[in-house]
Amino acid sequence: MKLNDIIASVQDLLQGEKSSDPKRKAALEDLMAKLEKKETKVRRKLKKAETAEERAKYERKLTIVRAQREKGEKALGTLST
């Protein structure tokens, strides 16, 4: 799944109903795991980046992934209670 698809899915879940639906929680946990894997890949690519352009590109992606993970973790915390 591409980063934009994962982000769109997370946003859909975050904007959805604020219930503690087990399916919603499971879907969000799955997306959080995908974001974690994506973050690892982006970090690896950032380390291998040779040009300043590439580094800037991967740093932007990393910032986006981190922000989405934070939002997701926060939402999981509210779903758990």
Handedness of CA 24, 72, 33, 54 (dihedral sign): positive
List the domain boundaries for the chain. Answer: 3-80
| Per-residue pLDDT band at 81 (split at 50, 70, 90) | low
Phi (first) and psi of residue 35, to 5 degrees: -65, -35
What pTM did the predictor assign?
Answer: 0.78
Handedness of CA 11, 35, 69, 49 (dihedral sign): negative
Nearest to 69 by CA among 17, 7, 4, 2: 7
Interval 51-69 mean pLDDT: 95
Whether the predicted pLDDT of 12 surpasses 80: no
